[in-house]
A = this chain, B = another copy of it.
Amino acid sequence: MSETEFIIEPGRQDIIIKRVYDAPRDVVFKAVTDPDLIPNWWGPAKYETVVDRADVRPGGSWRFVSRGDDGEEYGFRGVIHDVAAPERVVQTFEFEGAPGQVSLETLTLEEVDGKTQYVAVSVFQSVEDRDGMVQSGMQEGASETMDRLAEIVEGR
């Protein structure tokens, strides 16, 4: 299994996450956009992910809820600027626990020799917001999420 690469440079407003999946692009695109598959990989495994809304089209919107063993719920939501299957999704992202802090996510999938290069760029409204996201332990959660996605698309 490949590793997840994070590019987080000081003073910048973005977080870049890269991963190579040993699966065709169509398979990765379907896994990241299909509301039936999203709960299988989205977020750390210790939370159940409930897809409240996933209207995956330009002008659509999404909302996922992470539910812990203790019944605690965390909501995440955004609007979808663009979807170009099977290569690109551009959407906004907001954790409802930090209202008003919104980021713009651009996911690009490129097929290289039968594998898929996944690149997700998240840009934040300020360097401080970006740094806060890093300090919240984002990397650990995202690594686990990317590993879970690998299990789905690589069928292991």
- 22 A–B contacts, CB within 8 A, in A order: A11-B11, A11-B12, A12-B127, A13-B13, A13-B14, A14-B125, A58-B61, A59-B61, A79-B80, A79-B81, A81-B92, A82-B100, A82-B102, A88-B100, A90-B102, A92-B104, A102-B106, A103-B104, A104-B123, A106-B125, A121-B125, A123-B125
Supplied contacts A92-B92, A103-B104, 9 more A-B pairs, CB within 8 Å: A14-B126, A58-B61, A58-B79, A81-B92, A81-B102, A82-B102, A92-B104, A121-B125, A123-B124
Asked if A147 is at the interface of the complex by the 8 Å CB criterion, the answer is: no
Interface size class of A (residues with CB under 8 A): 20 to 34
**Interchain CA distance A64-B26 in the complex, whole Å:** 33
**Interchain CA distance A103-B81 in the complex, whole Å:** 10
**Interchain CA distance A80-B79 in the complex, whole Å:** 7
* Residues of the B chain whose Cβ atoms lie less than 8 Å from the Cβ of A126: 14, 121
Main DSSP-derived SS at the A contact region:
strand
Asked if A78 is at the interface of the complex by the 8 Å CB criterion, the answer is: yes
Asked if A144 is at the interface of the complex by the 8 Å CB criterion, the answer is: no
Q: Which residues of A contact B (CB under 8 A)?
A: 11-14, 58-59, 61, 78-82, 88, 90, 92, 94, 100, 102-104, 106, 121, 123-127
* Residues of the B chain whose Cβ atoms lie less than 8 Å from the Cβ of A81: 78-79, 92, 94, 102
CB distance from A138 to the nearest CB of B (A): 18
A102 and B100 in contact, given A13-B14, A92-B90 (Cβ under 8 angstroms): no
